[in-house]
Each structure stands twice: as structure tokens, then as C-alpha cells.
Amino acid sequence: MPITGHDWMIAGVSVAIGLVLGVILAKALGNAPGKARRMERQFEDLQDQHVRYQAQVSEHFMETSQIFKRLNEDYAAMYNHMAKGAQKLCEDDTLGKLMIMGSEESNRALRDADQSEDVAEMAVDTPRDYAPKSKPEEKGTLSEDYGFKLKDEDDTVKS
């Protein structure tokens, strides 16, 4: 079969279409390495930000720990100062009443306040965040129904 002018035209158009598609494909694939490099840089930047954030969180909690340590030391110093002052300034019967009201650690701290020069080493009773009960059967202030009266109790009070 002889090659005609029509066959040459189809071949030429096919080559042109192939070249155009090749150029488009090359540009599309040529950007892929650039995109990959940008994504890698962005990923590294995010990793660096995360590492800095972790360091800031760690530093924050270390500082918080040091502040709480100083707070506890200051509390112990204040408590011991008050114990020594009570021992020096209160009358013996008032001091005795204070010792009865306090905990065993507080009693030991008051008795030993004048014997110990190292006040930071003394045992300290931590403050309580609730009010003590006057009767053992009474519900405490941390009880869920503290301060609420039941309907039956209201009826018996009115009768």
C-alpha cells in the first residue's frame, strides 16, 4: 500500500499532539520535585515548632515546680515563726489550749520550736480546706447534700 499525502498529514498531526502532550506532562512532573521540597521544608518547620513548644511546656512546669517549692518553704517558715511567737508571747494556759486544738505534728512543732534552730526542717501540718464537724454524725461541708433539707424533715419541723 503506497503512503499518500493524507497518511503524512495524520502522522504530522500525531507528532504535534505528542509534542504538546509531552511538554504539558514535563511541566506537570517538573513541579513535583519542587512541591516535594516545599512540603519537606514545611514539615521540618512544623517539627521545629513542635520541639520549641515542648521545650516551652517543660520550662513552664519546671518554673511552676520551683514556685510551689518556694511557696511550701515560705509556708513552713511562716508556720514556724507563728509557733515560736505563740510560745514566747502566749501565757502557759493559752498555749496549752492551742496545743490541745492542734494536730500532733503542730504540738510537736510548738514544743520543739525553741529547741530547734533549723526551722525549715520542722514538720508542718497543711491547712485544711473544709470546716470541721462539731458532731461525728453530722454531715460534712463536702457532702453532696450539705445544707439541703429533705422533704420529710421539713414536714416534721412544721408539725
Give pLDDT < 70 ranges for the chain: 1, 30-33, 94-133, 140-148, 150-159
Give pLDDT, residue 72: 94
- Say what the pLDDT of residue 4 is: 78
Model pLDDT, residue 25: 82
* pTM for the model: 0.39
CB 124 within 8 A of CB 75: yes
Q: What is the pLDDT of residue 121?
A: 47
Q: Which three cell numbers stand for residue 108?
A: 510537736
Alpha helices in the chain (DSSP H): 5-89, 92-101, 104-112, 151-158
pLDDT of residue 137: 78
